[in-house]
Structures are given as C-alpha cells and as structure tokens.
Amino acid sequence: MASSSKLSPHVIVVSFAIVYVYLSTIFVFVKQWFGLGSSPGIMNTVAFTAVAVMCISNYVIAMFRDPGRVPPSFTPDIEDSNHPIHEIKRKGGDLRYCKKCSLHKPPRSHHCRICKRCVLRMDHHCVWMNNCVGHANYKVFFVFVVYALIACLYSLILLIGSLTVDTQKDGEGSYRTVYIISGLLLIPLSMALGVFLGWHIYLTVQNKTTIEYYEGVRAMLLAEQGGNVYSHPYDLGVYENLITVLGPNILCWVCPVSSYIGSGLQFRTAYDHARSLTSTR
C-alpha cells in the first residue's frame, strides 16, 4: 500500500459527499419529481444507483490499488542492444537514481515524497483518495472521474426537474435546505470534474502524465532556443495512446478492470513498454 491508512480528512469529505448526493438524489429529487413507486421513479432510481455503484467501486479500487512499485532488484541494462536508450538525469548525464529509495528509476517513474517511494509512470499524488495515480491504477482513476461527472450531471438534471413540479406538495418546503446545499455542491463540482476530465483526456490522447506535461513544456522551450523541434517520446498517435492506457478492448474502457495484476507484472509491463516506445522514436 502507498500508505498505512487510507482514511484521511480528504477521503472522509469525498465519502460524505458521495453519500449525500446519492441520498438527496433518490429520496428527494426522484421522489419529488416522479415518486419512488412510479415506473419513471424506479427506472431513475435503478439507473442512478448503477452509476453511483460504478463511481464508488472505481474510487475504492483506485484508492487501494498499488499504483506500481519498482522492484528492489531492478538495474538498467545499459548493454541491451535492443533498448539502447535510457532516461538520464537533467544534470550530469547519469542514469536516473533515487537516493531516497536507493534504487535506479525506470523510465517514467518518479519518487513520491508523500508515499515515500518511487511510483511507476507516476501522474500525481491524489489527496482525495490518499494514494498516488500511477501505472497500475491510472485507468481506474480515469474511469472514476468519468462516472463521478456523470453522477453529478445526472443528479443536477433530477434536481432541476424536481423543481418544475408543483411546489405546493406536502412536505416539499422541508427540502429547501437540501436543494440549496445540493445546488451549491453539484454545480461547482460538475464544472471542476468537467475541467479535470478534459485535462486527463488531453493527457491520455498524447500519452503523457501530468509530470511529463510540465517537463515537456520546459523541454519544448529549451528545444526552441536551440532551433530544434520537441516531440514527446511516448506519443504513438491518438488511438494507440488510448489503448495503451484504457486497454485494447473498447467495451472495457469504462469498466473497473485492469490488465496489470501484481507488482512484478506491473513493473515489467511499465518498464518494457516505456523502453520499447523510446527506442522506436
């Protein structure tokens, strides 16, 4: 695990938000608009519950799945003629080495000061799930954001729709506070998730991580100063980049499944893939 305990203030906030949105959507918005016993009410309850289950399951998996660790026995094979290119330090030109972990760092791996270890294909450390987002859980994290946005938009639609019914219904006035809190929560959350999802779609189609994006900006500026053109070394084209992250089966792109199981397989897949991509450039 990336940390001894996954329970943190940020995780508690997310958990309460999920529970609140679900309960208010089903027992207030759907109830007020359709009635829980009607056919439309049952259909919307089932549909929203399915979205909520997928959202929660992806969140839990992304939070508890090891993002990928570097095996203690790893050493770069500098004499491998099939993969002659290795990532090196910006200064000195030596092979990348983590002094804190006392390990060589494979391509695209970085040390997380919060998790206190190197993570394969590290994107960032997410405080909202108290875990790093890396090679083994990036897809699940991506799918979680998709379902979270769908759930927020779905709940917002039901909220607005429930306001169109007769406001004189018995007991509706007691839900005024729920509507206000839900509106103040769902509107900014939907906007934030939409921007966040758009950002990670942009990164995915270019086969970049957040760290690589900012490193690429610096590399591009340096290349332009030298009269060269910078090209991201892992960019294979939109479709190839998508299947690299989400898997070759399009039907499983929105499912909480991953082809990477176990730290050993995580490492070999990440390391061999990164080196093969680099050597084809």
For 153-208, write each residue's pLDDT tens digit: 999 999 999 998 865 554 556 789 999 999 999 999 999 999 999 999 999 999 99
3-state secondary structure of 133: strand
In the set 55, 118, 126, 132, the catalytic residue is 126
115: annotated active-site residue: no
Write down the residue that tokens 């508690």 correspond to.
Answer: 12
> Which contiguous run of DSSP H or E holds residue 158?
helix 138-162
Closest CA to 267 of 120, 153, 168, 105: 120
**pLDDT (tens digit per residue) in 217-233:** 877 777 777 777 777 88
Both structure tokens of 230? 């910078």
pTM for the model? 0.83
Tell me the pLDDT band of 268, cut-offs 50, 70 and 90: very low
Give per-residue burial for 80-115: e unless 16+ CB within 10 Å, then b: eeebeebbeeeeeeeebeeeebebbbbbbbbbbeeb
87-91, 129-133, 135-139: which range is least confident on average?
A: 87-91
User: For residues 236 and 220, what is the distance between their CA atoms, to the nearest angstrom?
Assistant: 18
User: For residues 191 and 11, what is the distance between their CA atoms, to the nearest angstrom?
Assistant: 20
Q: What are the boundaries of each domain within the chain?
A: 9-279
Q: What is the pLDDT of residue 278?
A: 45
Give per-residue burial for 33-49: e unless 16+ CB within 10 Å, then b: bbeeeeeebeebbeebe
Both structure tokens of 231? 């090209």
Strand partners, 133: 124
